[in-house]
Amino acid sequence: MRITLIPLLLALAAACVPALCGNKEQPVPQPEAPVGTRSHFAALDDVRLLANGLLQLGQSLREFVQKTKGQINDILQKLNIFDHSFYQLSVFASQIKEEEEELKKTTVVLKANSEEIKGLSVEISSKVDSILQEKSRLQNKVDGMEEKLRSLTHGLVTSEQVGEINSLKELIHSQERSITELLNAMREQSDQLNHQRIMIKTLEEKFTVNTLTQETIERMPEILNSEAPTLTPYLTSSSTSTTDMMNLPSDCSDLFNRGEGVSGVYAIRPTGTEPFMAFCDMSINHGATVIQRRRDGSVNFDQIWDKYENGFGDFQGEFWLGLRKIHALAAQGNSVLHIQLEDWKQGRHFIEYRFYLSGLESNYTIHLTHLSGDLADPMSNHTGMMFSTKDRDNDNHQDSNCAHNYTGGWWFNACGETNLNGRYFHMRPKGRSERRRGIQWRPGQKASYSLKLTQISVHPMASPSTTSSTSASSETGVFLRSSTRILQ
């Protein structure tokens, strides 16, 4: 390559020399020297100028080649990382398929055993019924003999009657022993049948979870590259009558106070804003407006600023309500931010903050004051932070874009370890850098929670008389019912 560049460099230098010399003043014409005395060599200044031009051009080409090599090396490293991640996903998928086949075989065997046990249970029940009928018949005979004994109270009882009575008593005792033994055997069979049913149900639940996990892993590239659907926009007077719009509740708590007790999607209108649709959780004694929910990884939360400002996802699954709507709810004053979390060990926790959210002019700065809950408080380092996304960096980390590196929009400080809008992982990643991209709740230097379910909601501050009952029931409701539906 160097050999081929030398003629090119010489040509460029030859072209540059007249151009460089063209800006100088024209020399005064001198009498031409005689032909016999003209010099056959270039002037020394021209040679130096040509040499300097060649050196500068060679240095520029060398820097360009080095820069190109560095970019190619970066691309190769990223391709290697992608190949490694794809290989790990393939290994996980093959392991899940093997476990699925084993679960199918075990389920078939248990179902056969269950049918056999059901047949035995029916047979035992019929035998018990016949024994009970025999016992009733013998009891009638005993009652008759007692009547005879009463009639002979004033007379003598013959030896034949005494023998008959004793034989009947022995027969009754033997029948009672047989009945007791059969009842014990039936109880054991019933316990065994219940145990088999529990095993079958457990395997079916595990099979369902593994199937969902495999489907999500197979769809992971599609989910990560997909654009989340936009939530229902603000309602207009053309879709709803003016009277109905004026009578809309200000939030889900207001709707609860009007007598509505079923969780679901409703139209609300915070003070001074346009009405919009929201999901209301009516299970915590006062009604709460849900602003975020994660439960199965079906929605990609690594979205741009516009999506986070207006909302995205599906009210029946995973969604983010939107910063504009959250600001409208918080602007009504006296608001509480309620966070519910569930880890992969079925551990359920909650925490509450007094909450206010500034508007767009301050990039939706969050203000939090801890109130209650059974979770440690890592969000104290995030209060006063502006909201950041991968295309709008508002964090306090000067050398990094936290939303781009950790994925998902959040109120990042200097990145940190708390981000409920991170990437959803069905299996705990092995690498520390990859775990940081997931849904995290890490207070200080303590171990982080690898989260399975999250729900963030907003409601007005409750009165003192209802505070205790509200905190006691805050871990139940639509959040936990939805998690139960996933596992069934």
DSSP 373-426: ESS---GGGTTTPPPBBTTB--SS-TT--HHHHH-S-B--SSS-S-BTTSB--S
Q: How many residues does the chain have?
A: 488
125-139, 289-303, 382-396, 456-470: the lowest-pLDDT one: 456-470
Give the residue-averaged pLDDT of 92-108: 82
478-487 and 159-224 helices, crossing angle to 10°:
100
| 259-266 CB contacts, 8 Å cutoff, 24+ apart | 260/287, 263/477, 263/478, 265/315
With beta carbons less than 8 A apart as the criterion, state whether 298 and 223 touch. yes
Task: Name the DSSP letter for residue 437.
Answer: T
The residues pairing with 354 across neighbouring beta strands, listed in sequence order, are 336, 369
Dump pLDDT digits (tens) for 20-45: 444 444 444 444 444 445 555 668 88
pLDDT of 429 > 50? The answer is yes
pLDDT of 276 > 90? The answer is yes
With beta carbons less than 8 A apart as the criterion, state whether 422 and 406 touch. yes
Going by pLDDT thresholds of 50, 70 and 90, the confidence category of residue 473 is very low
Going by pLDDT thresholds of 50, 70 and 90, the confidence category of residue 125 is confident
pLDDT on residue 218: 56
Give the residue-averaged pLDDT of 65-85: 86
Q: CA 344, CA 360: separation in Å to the nearest integer?
A: 36
Going by pLDDT thresholds of 50, 70 and 90, the confidence category of residue 13 is low
| pTM score above 0.75 | no
Dump pLDDT digits (tens) for 311-326: 999 999 999 999 999 9
Mean pLDDT over each residue of the chain, to the nearest integer: 78
Residue with token string 């030896």: 159
Going by pLDDT thresholds of 50, 70 and 90, the confidence category of residue 475 is very low
pLDDT on residue 453: 93
Give the residue-averaged pLDDT of 46-55: 88
Going by pLDDT thresholds of 50, 70 and 90, the confidence category of residue 487 is very low
Dump pLDDT digits (tens) for 206-237: 666 555 555 555 555 555 556 678 887 777 65
